[in-house]
Structure 1
């Protein structure tokens, strides 16, 4: 049995608030490199540009199990199995730990963790049967530490780090490789123009953190300018850069366990280990928005 080369990529829709554009960039790059790519998302209209490039597009909502089953079944029927799963679909929930409605927290985990976990479960039998496969998990620099205002989103990325590390050991004997990708902030990936853009289900109306949320919006302005970034924006990465690393994670015979993209993602884990938790905490308070 010839192993499948088919790639199932989630979160390829652009302009939906579900990704930073890395899914679309990765789909294009892999397709142009000759891989059979199935780019998926909740909104097929948002995938029209990829379809025009000749990429197979499918409806897939990681909170809808039947849509996941249908996508995996289609690829299996056409290629024997899913060869590579790129778990990219995600969104960022903004809110403080104490004020975010718990139903919003559940929705965040349903998309970023539980949906990813279920889809991974669905592709593993085919990978085991063919004796090979690859699971690529899009984590984040914020899978390494957390900051105020996005703690639940960052908690999902911490969860993915554990899932990836556990899964790697569990499936290595079947010829399946598991890769975590930890990008630094992506230019254009999180650019609220106002507090209203944060989509916090009215929690900003409590008044407890008004000054913080305004500063939060202003602070992220450094990542709005994608052509000529200044200040902190110069340390951010572009979606195309992340896509290039995804291609490396897919095509390498011996991929790295983690790909840390950009200076912040490579530097901060070493910095924390070197200076210790208390000094790192002071760094977080000095650099990031703090209530």
Structure 2
């Protein structure tokens, strides 16, 4: 069986709201390089610009098994199997560990972890049958360490690191390659404009960390998308550059296990291993917003 070149990509909506813009940028880049791309999202209207480029767009909600099955069937009917799955759909839940309602925590894991796992399960049989394939997991610098205020989101990215490592060994004999992408903070990705944008109206005792959340919003403004980002924003990466790295992960005959992009993800992970846990905690308290 000839291996499929078809790419199924989740979370392809433009870079607003819950999206970093990486999915859209990757869809465009891979399409323009000649790959058959199926760009998916929960809202087809938000994918209209990709459709105008000639990209096939499909409705796919990683919390809706029927929509996932329909998307996989469409690709399989037209190409024999999904050749590459890019698990990009995700959102960032803001909130402290002690005050975030558990239904919101479960919803975060349903989207960022459980839906991703189920969709991966759906494409694996076709990949095995055709004798190969590729699964790309969008992790993060925050899959390697955590900070206050987004611990549950960061836990989902930690989970992807473990899932990727386990899956890689399980499917290697079928010539299926599993790749983790670990970007530094992405300009414009998950950046709040105000405390109200954090969506914590249902959280317990919102005044408990009021000063922290005010600082949290101000601190993240350095990562607003702009031509000349200030201060910390200069170390962030752009969605287009992450998309270029995704293209490498798709096309390299022997891809790396992990691709890191940006100075922070390269520097901070080495730094933590060098200075030890207590000094790392001191660094986190000095650099990141702390209650």
The interval holding the TM-score normalised by the smaller chain is over 0.9
Q: Which residue of structure 2 lines up, in the alignment, with residue 75 of structure 1?
A: 75
SS in 2 for 1:180: strand
Does the 8 Å contact 1:29/1:247 carry over to 2? yes
Measure the CA separation in 1 of the matches of 2:87 and 2:17. Answer: 16
Does the 8 Å contact 2:99/2:205 carry over to 1? no
Q: Which residue of structure 1 lines up, in the alignment, with residue 267 of structure 2?
A: 267
Root-mean-square deviation (CA, aligned residues, Å) is 0.9
Does the 8 Å contact 2:180/2:258 carry over to 1? yes
Matches within 5 A, 1:194-273: 194-203=194-203, 206-273=206-273
Extract unaligned runs of 5+ from structure 1.
Answer: none
Does the 8 Å contact 1:144/1:158 carry over to 2? yes
SS in 1 for 2:28: helix
Q: Return the TM-score normalized by structure 1.
A: 0.98
Does the 8 Å contact 1:190/1:223 carry over to 2? no
Does the 8 Å contact 1:204/1:210 carry over to 2? no
User: Shift of the alpha carbon at 1:14?
Assistant: 1.6
Measure the CA separation in 2 of the matches of 1:15 and 1:33. Answer: 21
Measure the CA separation in 2 of the matches of 1:280 and 1:187. Answer: 25
SS in 1 for 2:93: coil
User: Shift of the alpha carbon at 1:79?
Assistant: 0.2
Q: Which residue of structure 2 lines up, in the alignment, with residue 103 of structure 1?
A: 103
User: Shift of the alpha carbon at 1:201?
Assistant: 3.3
Does the 8 Å contact 1:91/1:108 carry over to 2? yes
Q: Return the TM-score normalized by structure 2.
A: 0.98
Measure the CA separation in 1 of the matches of 2:278 and 2:229. Answer: 31
Structure 1 runs (4+) deviating above 3 angstroms are none
SS in 2 for 1:135: strand
Q: Which residue of structure 2 lines up, in the alignment, with residue 277 of structure 1?
A: 277
SS in 1 for 2:134: strand
User: Shift of the alpha carbon at 1:4?
Assistant: 0.1
Does the 8 Å contact 2:15/2:189 carry over to 1? no
Extract unaligned runs of 5+ from structure 2.
Answer: none
> How many residues are paired up?
291
